[in-house]
Amino acid sequence: MIQLYNTLTRKKEEFKPIQEGHVLFYHCGPTVYWTQHIGNLRGMTMGDLVVRTFRYFGYDVRHVRNYTDVGHMTGDTIGDADTGEDRMEKGAKREGLSPQQIADKYIAIFERDTKVLNLLEPTVKPRATEYIEEMIAMVTTLLDKGFAYTTDLAIYFDVSKFSTYTELSHQNMDMLTKGAGKAEVSDPQKKNPADFAIWFFRAGTHAHALQYWDSPFVSPLVKNGQGFPGWHMECSAMCRALLGETIDIHFGGIEHIPLHHTNEIAQSEATNGVTFVHYWLHNAHLLVDNKKMAKSEGTSYALSDIIKKGYDPLALRYFFLTAQYRSQQNFTWDALSGAQKAFHDLRTMMAGWRKEENRTVLSDEKLQKIDAFRAKFHAALENDLNIPGALAVVWEIAKSNIPSSDKYDVIREFDEVLGLELGSYELRVTSEQKIPKEIEELVEKRNALRKEKKFDEADTVRKELEEKGYVVEDTSGGSSIKK
């Protein structure tokens, strides 16, 4: 019995699929105008863990994760997603490329990153620009039903016509209306400040938009319907086209609750006349040194920054596994070093256990232990995807007295969820590795400090070695080093 914390109801609920044994899962993917930072990649990893968990329990998961390649405005960072500059156009101007070339470039980088982090491939990876006709169809329905209206600059969804508009965000509508529409660009013909664009005309601020399509709508100002879809409309249309009018789970970052996901619900349910999503799941943010990541402070790290410092990308995945998806997580280089060491130790143990050929007949006591470990692992997953709890069970098994070959088998099974590739690592002989002189000198320095009982200084050297991509293994005779 899987319990999920549903943002819509603010409580844990037993998961009951629309169709027995199947899960319809939509995950808001990246806007592909820039390299995704590790906070974005944490969100993608959390979604991957949802998919892996349900598949581990035998569900057939249809997983859709989109690419936004048009219509996502910079104004969403200040609470007004209809204002500012289109991010794809911003990327195109920055690099002297077309929006499609920008999308192709950053999708390729994103897919390289997700591959090395061992994220499973989604069932479908739609681009928003591939579903314009479906978006136009939804806008047409909303106009016909009276949920939308036209101005010179755009077509807007009228939030006053949707009585449960704030059900997901739990915001006060009066306060929301008073605080809306304060960005630098606004449409004076909007009926309500909280109304949101579902189609932008190629007019006003967007008169020279690089991406636009013909539509049956007509702007009174420019006398044609050329334009592009609103960001929120894109996810609703792709979700409906690929999963249906009602889905089981919608996943995304908590920043999407007040605008993006709230607006998705309104336009989808107004169009289709049925419940859009049964379970809304949202991941919390990744901090860096207990502060929000910021390009201006040089803390908006990409995966390439992690790799350049000598860390295994799967050590970053291991780090992500140490916090539950709804909890904020704080990234530091020390924390990543600790994750890398723990990951390396676990992978090394698994490689050693795999080589053991002698298998023993398990006693009833040890069979019961394995059953208890499996039950505990399942219970952690069933409790709103408590991955840190599941990882703790793996370490309990590793330290237990059950035979090594059985440790390997059970942990390998659990790794279907963790995704750490624990069964594929090969032990390498230290003496065959060529260690640079600089690294050997650091090892000697650390050994000397340990003999002098200067353990804090020795630990600083150990961290320096780990940052350079080497793992230190201490013995009574000193320290050895492995790449």
Helix, strand or coil, per DSSP, at residue 282: strand
What pLDDT shows up at residue 181? 40
Q: Give the tens place of pLDDT for each residue, 316-372.
A: 999 999 999 999 999 999 999 999 999 999 999 998 888 766 666 677 888 899 999
CA dist 190 and 150 (Å) reads 9
Q: What is the CA radius of gyration of the chain?
A: 26
Structure tokens at 184: 């630098």
Sign of CA dihedral 251, 254, 260, 266: positive
CA dist 95 and 45 (Å) reads 29
What pLDDT shows up at residue 89? 96
CA angle 423, 427, 432 (to 5 degrees): 155
Structure tokens at 6: 């549903």
Average pLDDT for the chain: 91
Q: Give the tens place of pLDDT for each residue, 212-270.
A: 999 999 999 999 999 999 999 999 999 999 999 999 999 999 999 999 999 999 999 99
Q: Give the tens place of pLDDT for each residue, 164-197.
A: 999 999 988 776 554 444 333 479 999 999 999 9
Between strands 22-27 and 11-14, the pairing is unpaired
- Closest C-alpha to 246, from 223, 226, 271, 224: 271
Structure tokens at 114: 């997700």
Give percent of the chain above pLDDT 90: 78
What pLDDT shows up at residue 426? 66
Q: Give the tens place of pLDDT for each residue, 408-440.
A: 999 999 999 999 999 887 655 444 456 787 887
Q: Is residue 460 pLDDT above 90, yes or no? A: no
What pLDDT shows up at residue 477? 47
User: In this predicted model, which residue has the larger pLDDT, 475 or 402?
Assistant: 402
**Amino acid residing at 82:** D
Buried b / exposed e along 54-89 (16+ C-beta atoms within 10 A): bbbeebebbbbbbbbbbbbbbbbeeebbbbbebbbb
CA dist 279 and 16 (Å) reads 10
Q: Give the tens place of pLDDT for each residue, 91-125.
A: 999 999 999 999 999 999 999 999 999 999 999 99
Phi-psi region of 359 (alpha: psi -120 to 50; beta: other; left: phi over 0): beta
Backbone angles phi, psi at 374, to 5 degrees: -65, -40
CA dist 413 and 394 (Å) reads 10
Q: Which domains does the chain have, with CATH numbers?
A: 17-283 (3.40.50.620), 288-418 (1.10.730), 430-482 (no CATH)
What pLDDT shows up at residue 476? 44
What pLDDT shows up at residue 480? 64
- Closest C-alpha to 383, from 433, 315, 319, 326: 326
Q: To 10 degrees, what angle do helices 364-382 and 387-398 make?
A: 160
E-strand spans in 272-376?
A: 277-283, 286-288, 291-292, 329-331
Helix, strand or coil, per DSSP, at residue 210: coil
